[in-house]
């Protein structure tokens, strides 16, 4: 009985279904080739005992013992599977000297194993044996022939994650010395210099790489990353593209920098050029669609995003969300609902299902709307935004008691969530439960003392009820100090002054607030103050204009009816 049977026998027993004759023949041939590379070693009682001893020691946390036994097995058998296991166990047990010896043995026994070479390189570098590592890597390079440049890049990528960037740089400066005529050598030097925070050195090396291969896109992109953001990067890449119009990766990088600079029209032109070269590229299709949407070219956006969807790759859920927005803006509500409902994951899932719910509310389908919110909440049960979204749907339906019950329950689970505290306070205020409202807003002030919302909400509610007017004004003034240009806090200030009997003074902040945002309730307040000052024509005009813009606003309609029955 040979050792190979011990390693592979268990896998044969695990097969639950018989293989076809063809599969069996293929597996037999593969196993035969594998066996030819393996030493023919009998599974003696001693080997079996040591193997089990090492495994049991490892399972019991006796890692040093496991490492020692496995290393003895590796030396005695020189089986590459056992040698690999010995190296891995020693590394896990932090027996680095043993791990290094095992890795050396592994490379000698199985020189084609990339994992062995990678482990040995890591251990040599970690132990400061840079000369030995350099000799090993140099030997590989010397045998690489025409693949030398490619191998240099592979070696650099492998060691890129090593934490001592200066040591890695010194290593590659040494390795690349014989290969100064290769652009890859200079690119590797540039990358290791950059990793070691030497941008000047990196720029010098990347310039040499481009001097040797002027059309090389990786070198051009690295140079662009070393230049100052904005115009310097864009000017360099533009010149490169003028000389190399088919440089796909550079054009893609150029387009992305244009997006970052908010030059959306120019960016779209570059992406369209890429699209002509590769019309089925999902990333480019998506980019053209989003940029067209940004530029309000809805037809082009929709065409490209729908084409993107047919490919079945890339950010499909994001595309569904944007297509839903396009359909909604075009008044195609049923199509918009289909797109929104199809968003299954990602950061667009929540807003998509909220939009679907809002569309259903507009169709007086409140229960279906709540189902959409429930779908979103299933994947994010602690997301307070979804509870608040559902509360807003109920509020739109006039179901204020249910709004409060929903928010109260959510707040019990997350008692210090600022958004839930604020929304629950407003819901209590709607039910005229001033004590509960004040308790939640006072708690919010403790949690977020620099947030104007709580001060304004409590100050306005007290002023509106003509309760504790001096304190109400102090709260509103505190909110204004935190957010002096907020139109809704300015509205609260004007309304509090009006409740104090200072109509003339109240008009100034109210008119300032309305100039900043044409809100219906601000219009209702400003109109009432104008009416109280005898300026009825101005009040009526303000109300008529606001009612035309907000025909369904209940607060505005109620105010107008009080004065114009």
State the virtual CA torsion across 312, 315, 321, 326 in degrees, nearest 10. Answer: -70
Per-residue pLDDT tens digits for 499-527: 999 999 999 999 999 999 889 999 999 99
Could you tell me the two tokens for 50? 């040591």
Please state the separation of Cα 345 from the chain's center in Å: 13
pLDDT at 444: 93
Distance between CA atoms of 378 and 408, rounded to whole angstroms?
Answer: 19
Stretch (H or E) spanning 376: helix 366-379
pLDDT at 28: 46
Instruction: With beta carbons less than 8 A apart as the criterion, state whether 329 and 297 touch.
Output: no
Q: Residue 111: exposed, middle, or buried by beta-carbon count in 10 A (0-12, 13-18, 19+)?
A: exposed
Three-state secondary structure readout of 447-491: HCCCCHHHHHHHHHHHHHCCCCHHHHHHHHHHHHHHCCCCHHHHH
Intervals of the chain under pLDDT 50: 1-32
pTM here is 0.56
Please state the separation of Cα 114 from the chain's center in Å: 33
pLDDT at 42: 64
- Segments making up each domain of the chain, as ranges: 1-10+39-138, 462-565
| Domain 1-10+39-138 of CATH type 1.10.580.10 | no
pLDDT at 290: 87
Q: Which residues contact 371 (CB under 8 A, 6 or more apart)?
A: none
Q: One fold for both 1-10+39-138 and 462-565?
A: yes
Distance between CA atoms of 217 and 235, rounded to whole angstroms?
Answer: 16
pLDDT at 88: 75
Q: Residue 38: exposed, middle, or buried by beta-carbon count in 10 A (0-12, 13-18, 19+)?
A: middle
Stretch (H or E) spanning 113: none
pLDDT at 38: 63
Q: Which residues contact 479 (CB under 8 A, 6 or more apart)?
A: 452, 453, 455, 456, 459, 486, 489, 492
For the domain spanning 462-565, the CATH number is: 1.25.40.10
Distance between CA atoms of 70 and 13, rounded to whole angstroms?
Answer: 25
pLDDT at 136: 75
pLDDT at 482: 93
């Amino acid at each position: 009985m040979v050792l190979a049977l011990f390693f592979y026998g268990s896998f044969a027993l695990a097969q639950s279904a018989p293989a076809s004759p063809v599969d069996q023949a293929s597996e037999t041939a593969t196993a035969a080739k594998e066996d030819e590379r393996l030493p023919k070693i009998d599974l003696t009682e001693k080997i079996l005992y040591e193997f089990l001893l090492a495994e049991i020691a490892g399972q019991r946390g006796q890692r040093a013992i496991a490492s020692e036994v496995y290393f003895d097995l590796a030396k005695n058998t020189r089986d590459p599977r056992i040698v690999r296991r010995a190296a891995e166990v020693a590394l896990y047990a932090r027996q680095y000297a043993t791990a290094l010896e095992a890795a050396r043995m592994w490379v000698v026994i199985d020189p084609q194993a990339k994992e062995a070479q990678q482990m040995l390189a890591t251990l040599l570098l970690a132990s400061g044996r840079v000369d030995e590592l350099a000799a090993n890597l140099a030997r590989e390079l010397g045998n690489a022939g025409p693949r030398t440049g490619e191998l240099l890049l592979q070696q650099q990528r492998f060691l890129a994650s090593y934490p001592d960037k200066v040591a890695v740089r010194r290593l590659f400066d040494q390795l690349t010395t014989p290969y100064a005529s290769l652009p890859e050598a200079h690119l590797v030097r540039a990358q290791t210099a950059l990793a070691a925070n030497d941008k000047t050195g990196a720029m010098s090396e990347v310039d040499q790489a481009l001097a040797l291969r002027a059309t090389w896109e990786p070198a051009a992109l690295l140079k662009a990353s070393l230049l100052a953001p904005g115009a310097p990067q864009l000017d360099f890449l533009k010149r490169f593209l003028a000389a190399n119009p088919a440089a796909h990766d550079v054009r893609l990088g150029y387009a992305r920098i244009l997006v970052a600079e908010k030059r959306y029209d120019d960016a779209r032109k570059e992406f369209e050029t890429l699209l002509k070269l590769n019309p089925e590229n999902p990333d480019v299709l998506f980019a053209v669609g989003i940029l067209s949407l940004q530029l309000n070219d809805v037809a082009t956006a929709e065409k490209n995003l729908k084409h993107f969807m047919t490919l079945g790759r890339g950010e499909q859920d994001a595309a569904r969300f944007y297509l839903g927005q396009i359909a909604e803006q075009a008044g195609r509500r049923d199509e918009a609902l289909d797109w929104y409902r199809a968003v299954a994951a990602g950061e667009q899932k929540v807003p998509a299902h909220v939009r679907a719910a809002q569309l259903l509310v507009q169709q007086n389908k409140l229960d279906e709307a709540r189902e959409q919110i429930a779908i979103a909440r299933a994947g994010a049960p602690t997301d307070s935004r979804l509870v608040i979204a559902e509360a807003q749907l109920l509020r739109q339906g006039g179901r204020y008691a249910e709004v409060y019950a929903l928010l109260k329950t959510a707040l019990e689970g997350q008692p210090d969530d600022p958004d839930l505290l604020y929304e629950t306070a407003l819901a209590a205020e709607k039910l005229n439960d001033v004590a509960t409202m004040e308790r939640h807003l006072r708690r919010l002030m403790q949690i977020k003392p620099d947030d104007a919302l709580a001060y304004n909400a409590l100050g306005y509610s007290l002023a509106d009820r003509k309760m504790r007017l001096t304190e109400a004004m102090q709260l509103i003034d505190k909110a204004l100090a935190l957010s002096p240009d907020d139109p809704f806090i300015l509205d609260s200030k004007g309304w509090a002054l009006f409740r104090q009997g200072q109509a003339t003074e109240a008009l100034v902040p109210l008119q300032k607030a309305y100039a900043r945002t044409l809100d219906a309730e601000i219009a209702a307040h400003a109109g009432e103050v104008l009416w109280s000052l005898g300026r009825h024509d101005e009040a009526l005009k303000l109300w008529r204009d606001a009612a035309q813009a907000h025909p369904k606003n209940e607060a505005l309609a109620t105010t107008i009816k009080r004065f114009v029955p």
